[in-house]
Amino acid sequence: MVYHEPVLLSESIEGLAIHPDGNYVDATYGGGGHARKILELLRNGKLIAFDQDVDAMNNRIDDHRLLLLNHNFRYLKQFLRYYQMLPADGILADLGMSSHQLDRPDRGFSTRFGDALDLRMDRKKSLTALRIVNEYPEERLRVILKDYGEVSNAYRLAGLIVRGRSSEPIADGKQFQQIIARCVPKNGENKYLAQVYQALRIEVNQELEALREFLRQSVDVLRPGGRLVVITYHSLEDRIVKNFMRTGNTEGEQVKDFFGKTRAPVRMITRKPIVPGPEEQKRNPRSRSAKLRIAAAESHER
Protein backbone atom coordinates (compact mmCIF):
# COMPACT_ATOMS: atom_id res chain seq x y z
CA MET A 1 0.00 0.00 0.00
CA VAL A 2 1.26 3.49 -0.85
CA TYR A 3 1.66 5.49 2.39
CA HIS A 4 0.67 8.74 0.68
CA GLU A 5 0.66 10.29 -2.77
CA PRO A 6 2.20 13.76 -2.50
CA VAL A 7 -0.19 16.52 -3.59
CA LEU A 8 0.92 19.25 -6.04
CA LEU A 9 4.37 17.68 -6.11
CA SER A 10 5.91 19.42 -9.12
CA GLU A 11 4.27 22.77 -8.32
CA SER A 12 5.46 22.80 -4.71
CA ILE A 13 9.02 21.73 -5.58
CA GLU A 14 9.16 24.38 -8.30
CA GLY A 15 7.96 26.92 -5.74
CA LEU A 16 10.96 26.15 -3.52
CA ALA A 17 13.34 27.32 -6.28
CA ILE A 18 15.93 24.84 -5.02
CA HIS A 19 19.64 25.67 -4.93
CA PRO A 20 21.69 22.42 -5.06
CA ASP A 21 23.81 23.41 -2.06
CA GLY A 22 21.09 24.95 0.08
CA ASN A 23 19.45 24.02 3.38
CA TYR A 24 15.79 22.95 3.12
CA VAL A 25 12.96 22.00 5.45
CA ASP A 26 10.17 19.50 4.87
CA ALA A 27 7.90 20.39 7.79
CA THR A 28 5.47 17.50 7.20
CA TYR A 29 7.43 14.45 6.08
CA GLY A 30 4.64 11.83 5.92
CA GLY A 31 5.48 9.25 3.27
CA GLY A 32 8.57 11.16 2.16
CA GLY A 33 7.26 11.98 -1.33
CA HIS A 34 8.13 15.67 -1.27
CA ALA A 35 11.40 14.97 0.57
CA ARG A 36 12.53 12.45 -2.03
CA LYS A 37 12.03 14.99 -4.82
CA ILE A 38 13.93 17.69 -2.90
CA LEU A 39 16.85 15.31 -2.33
CA GLU A 40 16.99 14.54 -6.07
CA LEU A 41 17.65 18.23 -6.72
CA LEU A 42 20.27 18.71 -3.99
CA ARG A 43 23.99 18.22 -4.43
CA ASN A 44 25.76 19.17 -1.21
CA GLY A 45 22.65 20.68 0.34
CA LYS A 46 20.83 19.32 3.39
CA LEU A 47 17.21 18.55 4.21
CA ILE A 48 15.76 18.53 7.71
CA ALA A 49 12.28 17.01 7.99
CA PHE A 50 9.65 16.96 10.74
CA ASP A 51 6.73 14.66 11.48
CA GLN A 52 5.02 14.23 14.83
CA ASP A 53 3.48 10.89 13.78
CA VAL A 54 5.87 8.07 14.71
CA ASP A 55 4.52 5.96 11.82
CA ALA A 56 6.21 8.37 9.40
CA MET A 57 9.60 7.33 10.78
CA ASN A 58 9.16 3.98 9.00
CA ASN A 59 9.43 5.87 5.69
CA ARG A 60 12.91 7.23 6.37
CA ILE A 61 14.90 7.69 3.16
CA ASP A 62 18.42 6.33 3.39
CA ASP A 63 20.35 9.48 2.51
CA HIS A 64 23.09 11.12 4.58
CA ARG A 65 21.79 14.56 3.57
CA LEU A 66 18.44 13.92 5.32
CA LEU A 67 17.78 14.50 9.01
CA LEU A 68 14.31 13.20 9.98
CA LEU A 69 12.89 14.29 13.35
CA ASN A 70 9.86 12.86 15.16
CA HIS A 71 8.69 16.29 16.32
CA ASN A 72 6.02 18.88 15.56
CA PHE A 73 7.00 21.63 13.14
CA ARG A 74 6.16 24.20 15.79
CA TYR A 75 9.74 23.59 17.05
CA LEU A 76 11.20 24.62 13.68
CA LYS A 77 13.54 27.36 14.89
CA GLN A 78 14.79 25.41 17.91
CA PHE A 79 15.93 22.42 15.86
CA LEU A 80 17.38 24.37 12.94
CA ARG A 81 19.51 26.30 15.40
CA TYR A 82 20.53 23.12 17.26
CA TYR A 83 21.59 21.32 14.07
CA GLN A 84 23.29 24.44 12.66
CA MET A 85 21.07 24.65 9.59
CA LEU A 86 20.45 28.39 9.70
CA PRO A 87 19.58 30.12 7.51
CA ALA A 88 17.21 27.92 5.53
CA ASP A 89 16.82 28.40 1.79
CA GLY A 90 13.31 27.01 1.64
CA ILE A 91 10.53 25.52 3.74
CA LEU A 92 7.74 23.24 2.54
CA ALA A 93 4.66 22.27 4.57
CA ASP A 94 1.85 20.03 3.32
CA LEU A 95 -0.84 20.36 5.99
CA GLY A 96 -3.00 17.46 4.84
CA MET A 97 -3.36 14.08 6.51
CA SER A 98 -1.64 11.14 4.87
CA SER A 99 -3.57 8.35 3.16
CA HIS A 100 -1.98 6.03 5.72
CA GLN A 101 -3.58 7.95 8.60
CA LEU A 102 -6.98 8.09 6.91
CA ASP A 103 -6.96 4.38 6.10
CA ARG A 104 -6.11 3.21 9.63
CA PRO A 105 -9.34 2.51 11.61
CA ASP A 106 -7.44 2.62 14.91
CA ARG A 107 -6.45 6.25 14.31
CA GLY A 108 -10.05 7.46 13.93
CA PHE A 109 -9.33 10.13 11.30
CA SER A 110 -11.86 8.86 8.78
CA THR A 111 -15.61 9.11 9.38
CA ARG A 112 -16.21 5.85 7.54
CA PHE A 113 -14.83 3.75 10.39
CA GLY A 114 -16.69 3.28 13.65
CA ASP A 115 -13.72 2.14 15.68
CA ALA A 116 -11.43 4.41 17.65
CA LEU A 117 -12.21 8.07 18.21
CA ASP A 118 -8.59 9.05 18.68
CA LEU A 119 -7.48 11.67 16.11
CA ARG A 120 -4.01 12.18 17.62
CA MET A 121 -1.19 12.96 15.20
CA ASP A 122 1.26 12.39 18.06
CA ARG A 123 0.09 9.34 19.99
CA LYS A 124 2.34 10.21 22.92
CA LYS A 125 -0.10 13.00 23.78
CA SER A 126 -2.86 12.25 26.28
CA LEU A 127 -5.75 14.24 24.78
CA THR A 128 -7.93 12.25 22.37
CA ALA A 129 -11.20 13.04 20.60
CA LEU A 130 -12.86 10.45 22.85
CA ARG A 131 -11.83 12.44 25.92
CA ILE A 132 -13.14 15.63 24.36
CA VAL A 133 -16.64 14.28 23.61
CA ASN A 134 -16.84 12.65 27.06
CA GLU A 135 -15.28 15.31 29.26
CA TYR A 136 -15.50 18.79 27.71
CA PRO A 137 -18.26 21.02 29.09
CA GLU A 138 -21.07 21.86 26.69
CA GLU A 139 -19.96 25.48 26.22
CA ARG A 140 -16.45 24.43 25.22
CA LEU A 141 -17.83 21.85 22.79
CA ARG A 142 -19.95 24.56 21.16
CA VAL A 143 -16.91 26.77 20.64
CA ILE A 144 -14.71 24.16 18.98
CA LEU A 145 -17.53 22.82 16.78
CA LYS A 146 -18.40 26.33 15.63
CA ASP A 147 -14.90 27.79 15.33
CA TYR A 148 -12.91 24.77 14.15
CA GLY A 149 -15.55 22.86 12.19
CA GLU A 150 -17.80 25.74 11.11
CA VAL A 151 -20.71 23.47 12.06
CA SER A 152 -23.94 25.38 11.45
CA ASN A 153 -25.91 23.83 14.33
CA ALA A 154 -23.03 23.66 16.81
CA TYR A 155 -25.21 24.66 19.79
CA ARG A 156 -27.71 21.88 19.18
CA LEU A 157 -24.96 19.37 18.43
CA ALA A 158 -23.04 20.13 21.64
CA GLY A 159 -26.22 19.67 23.68
CA LEU A 160 -26.92 16.36 21.97
CA ILE A 161 -23.41 15.10 22.77
CA VAL A 162 -23.71 16.06 26.45
CA ARG A 163 -27.13 14.41 26.81
CA GLY A 164 -25.93 11.33 24.94
CA ARG A 165 -22.99 10.77 27.28
CA SER A 166 -25.02 11.36 30.45
CA SER A 167 -26.30 7.78 30.68
CA GLU A 168 -23.00 6.10 29.78
CA PRO A 169 -19.63 7.25 28.41
CA ILE A 170 -19.21 7.35 24.63
CA ALA A 171 -17.07 4.32 23.76
CA ASP A 172 -16.15 4.71 20.08
CA GLY A 173 -16.83 6.44 16.77
CA LYS A 174 -19.83 4.27 15.96
CA GLN A 175 -21.62 5.19 19.18
CA PHE A 176 -20.68 8.85 18.73
CA GLN A 177 -22.17 8.96 15.23
CA GLN A 178 -25.36 7.31 16.52
CA ILE A 179 -25.69 9.93 19.26
CA ILE A 180 -25.33 12.88 16.87
CA ALA A 181 -27.42 11.33 14.06
CA ARG A 182 -30.38 13.67 14.72
CA CYS A 183 -28.17 16.67 13.90
CA VAL A 184 -26.81 15.28 10.65
CA PRO A 185 -28.53 16.62 7.50
CA LYS A 186 -30.05 13.91 5.28
CA ASN A 187 -28.39 15.03 2.05
CA GLY A 188 -25.08 16.21 3.45
CA GLU A 189 -23.97 13.49 5.84
CA ASN A 190 -20.38 13.12 4.62
CA LYS A 191 -19.64 16.86 4.59
CA TYR A 192 -21.24 17.38 8.00
CA LEU A 193 -19.37 14.53 9.67
CA ALA A 194 -16.12 15.73 8.06
CA GLN A 195 -16.68 19.17 9.66
CA VAL A 196 -17.35 17.61 13.07
CA TYR A 197 -14.27 15.39 12.90
CA GLN A 198 -12.19 18.33 11.64
CA ALA A 199 -13.18 20.36 14.70
CA LEU A 200 -12.24 17.53 17.05
CA ARG A 201 -8.96 16.86 15.23
CA ILE A 202 -7.90 20.52 15.34
CA GLU A 203 -8.60 20.65 19.08
CA VAL A 204 -6.80 17.37 19.80
CA ASN A 205 -3.66 18.42 17.92
CA GLN A 206 -3.80 22.19 18.54
CA GLU A 207 -3.30 22.49 14.79
CA LEU A 208 -4.07 26.16 14.25
CA GLU A 209 -1.84 27.38 17.07
CA ALA A 210 0.98 25.12 15.88
CA LEU A 211 0.56 26.55 12.37
CA ARG A 212 0.71 30.12 13.67
CA GLU A 213 3.89 29.36 15.64
CA PHE A 214 5.45 27.68 12.62
CA LEU A 215 4.72 30.61 10.30
CA ARG A 216 6.05 33.19 12.75
CA GLN A 217 9.28 31.24 13.11
CA SER A 218 9.66 30.76 9.36
CA VAL A 219 10.67 34.40 8.83
CA ASP A 220 13.34 34.07 11.51
CA VAL A 221 14.98 31.05 9.89
CA LEU A 222 14.68 31.83 6.16
CA ARG A 223 17.45 33.69 4.37
CA PRO A 224 16.39 36.79 2.41
CA GLY A 225 14.74 35.47 -0.74
CA GLY A 226 14.20 32.03 0.80
CA ARG A 227 10.91 30.42 -0.14
CA LEU A 228 7.97 29.44 2.06
CA VAL A 229 5.67 26.91 0.35
CA VAL A 230 2.47 25.80 2.10
CA ILE A 231 -0.34 23.47 0.98
CA THR A 232 -3.62 23.84 2.89
CA TYR A 233 -6.83 21.80 2.81
CA HIS A 234 -9.53 23.81 4.56
CA SER A 235 -10.53 27.44 4.88
CA LEU A 236 -9.32 27.97 8.46
CA GLU A 237 -5.69 27.08 7.82
CA ASP A 238 -5.72 28.66 4.35
CA ARG A 239 -6.93 31.96 5.84
CA ILE A 240 -4.07 31.92 8.35
CA VAL A 241 -1.48 31.21 5.64
CA LYS A 242 -2.92 33.81 3.27
CA ASN A 243 -2.98 36.46 6.01
CA PHE A 244 0.62 35.70 6.93
CA MET A 245 1.91 35.85 3.39
CA ARG A 246 0.09 39.12 2.70
CA THR A 247 0.85 40.97 5.92
CA GLY A 248 3.49 39.05 7.86
CA ASN A 249 1.11 38.17 10.69
CA THR A 250 -1.55 35.49 10.99
CA GLU A 251 -4.29 37.97 11.87
CA GLY A 252 -3.96 39.77 8.54
CA GLU A 253 -3.33 43.19 10.10
CA GLN A 254 -1.34 45.65 7.98
CA VAL A 255 1.72 46.86 9.89
CA LYS A 256 3.15 50.26 8.95
CA ASP A 257 6.51 51.79 9.77
CA PHE A 258 7.23 55.29 11.11
CA PHE A 259 6.70 56.77 7.64
CA GLY A 260 3.35 55.06 7.11
CA LYS A 261 4.68 52.48 4.65
CA THR A 262 3.33 48.96 4.89
CA ARG A 263 6.00 46.49 5.96
CA ALA A 264 5.89 42.71 5.86
CA PRO A 265 8.67 40.14 6.40
CA VAL A 266 7.52 38.08 3.42
CA ARG A 267 6.49 38.81 -0.16
CA MET A 268 3.72 36.76 -1.70
CA ILE A 269 4.73 35.05 -4.94
CA THR A 270 1.33 33.55 -5.75
CA ARG A 271 -1.45 36.16 -5.77
CA LYS A 272 -3.97 33.36 -6.20
CA PRO A 273 -3.53 29.84 -4.81
CA ILE A 274 -2.38 27.05 -7.11
CA VAL A 275 -4.83 24.14 -7.14
CA PRO A 276 -4.55 20.59 -8.54
CA GLY A 277 -5.50 20.15 -12.19
CA PRO A 278 -8.29 17.84 -13.38
CA GLU A 279 -5.90 14.92 -13.95
CA GLU A 280 -4.46 15.05 -10.44
CA GLN A 281 -7.91 15.41 -8.88
CA LYS A 282 -9.11 12.37 -10.82
CA ARG A 283 -6.04 10.33 -9.89
CA ASN A 284 -6.06 11.46 -6.26
CA PRO A 285 -9.54 12.63 -5.11
CA ARG A 286 -8.10 13.66 -1.72
CA SER A 287 -6.25 16.49 -3.48
CA ARG A 288 -9.45 18.31 -4.49
CA SER A 289 -9.45 20.78 -1.60
CA ALA A 290 -5.71 21.53 -1.75
CA LYS A 291 -4.43 25.08 -2.17
CA LEU A 292 -0.76 25.93 -2.65
CA ARG A 293 0.62 29.34 -1.65
CA ILE A 294 4.19 30.56 -2.05
CA ALA A 295 6.04 33.50 -0.48
CA ALA A 296 9.64 34.73 -0.29
CA ALA A 297 11.34 36.13 2.81
CA GLU A 298 12.33 39.77 2.65
CA SER A 299 15.61 41.09 4.02
CA HIS A 300 15.56 41.32 7.81
CA GLU A 301 17.83 41.26 10.83
CA ARG A 302 18.44 37.86 12.35
pTM: 0.91
**pLDDT attached to residue 252:** 76
- Residues 185-194 have pLDDT tens digits of 988 899 999 9
- Residues 110-124 have pLDDT tens digits of 655 567 899 999 989
Going from N- to C-terminal start, the domains of the chain cover 106-205
**pLDDT attached to residue 107:** 65
**pLDDT attached to residue 4:** 62
- Residues 92-108 have pLDDT tens digits of 999 987 555 655 666 65
DSSP string, the chain: --S-PPTTHHHHHHHHT--TT-EEEES--TTSHHHHHHHHH-SS-EEEEE-S-GGGGGG----TTEEEE-S-GGGHHHHHHHTT-PSEEEEEEE-SPPHHHHT-TTT--STT--S-----SSTTSS--HHHHHHHS-HHHHHHHHHHHH--TTHHHHHHHHHHHHHHS---SHHHHHHHTGGGS-TT-HHHHHHHHHHHHHHHHHTHHHHHHHHHHHHHHHEEEEEEEEEEE-SHHHHHHHHHHHHHSSTT----B-TTS-B--SEEES-SS-B---HHHHHH-GGGTT-EEEEEEEPP---
pLDDT, mean of residues 142-150: 97
* CATH classification code of 106-205: 1.10.150.170
Across 52-56, 82-86, 140-144, 214-218, least confident range: 52-56
